[in-house]
Amino acid sequence: MTTGVRRRMGVEERRQQLIGVALELFSRRSPDEVSIDEIASAAGISRPLVYHYFPGKLSLYEAALKRASDDLAARFVEPHEGPLGARLLRVMRRFFDFVDEHGPGFSALMRGGPAVGSSTTNALIDSVRQAAYVQILSHLGVTDPPARLELVVRSWISLAESTALIWLDGRRIPRAELEVQLVHDFAALTAVSAAQDAEMGALMRRIAQEEPADGPFARLAGRLPALAT
């Protein structure tokens, strides 16, 4: 389009632009504090035109959340190659990249944002948690998880969320340290469960045997005995 006249966007193109503008604003301030006027202004269109594409702020917020959810779920995908600890560490780096990029929006959402309680919002949050859960099971090579493994994986996912939220509140600990910590936490929670249950014990030993001596799991195991002295 080189006519010198600003071309008119198609409906879908305009919707995608508005979603992008909204996400950019939500990455800097809480969605509660961002008005439709601001979104319109940042997109270079009028407020009524925004309502033409999205009937209300909630529908724009949900569309933005859908794009962010798809983005986050895509970052969980990791090739099935190399040691598990190193794979999990790469995913944790991409998770913190996402949290870093979307700080205020992520905090507001997880702490009870403008659309919490909306079934669409809850379903999107659950779908991202489920994507993480499915990825982890596939990397563990487990198709029919026992209840204790499901508990460890799902509760660790919740631990990763709360760790990221606490990190965002002041960023007082370097994120690289927390990325490693969460990988170690996964091993530690698995070990705790394995100490009580033979099936989890067998899984734990299988994971440990495949880990190299310089991987994150092995480095944790090497450091723990020193704590007892």
Contact residues: its own copies, CB under 8 A = 111-117, 122, 147-148, 150-151, 154-155, 158-159, 161-163, 166-167, 170, 172-173, 177-178, 180-181, 184-185, 188-189, 191-196, 201, 204-205, 208, 220-221, 223-224, 227-229
CB of 139 to its own copies, least distance (A): 20
Backbone angles phi, psi at 128, to 5 degrees: -70, -45
Q: Which is nearer to its own copies, 41 or 118 (CB)?
A: 118
Which residue stretches of 82-146 are H helix?
A: 84-101, 103-112, 119-140
Tokens 């779908």 map to which residue? 127
- Please answer whether residues 165 and 110 qualify as being in contact, where contact means their C-beta atoms are separated by less than 8 angstroms: yes
CB of 99 to its own copies, least distance (A): 14
From residue 127, how far is each of 14, 130, 131, 148, 189 by CA, in Å? Answer: 26, 5, 6, 21, 23
CB of 92 to its own copies, least distance (A): 13
Q: At what angle do helices 57-75 and 119-140 cross, to 10 degrees?
A: 0
Q: Which is nearer to its own copies, 49 or 176 (CB)?
A: 176
CB of 196 to its own copies, least distance (A): 6
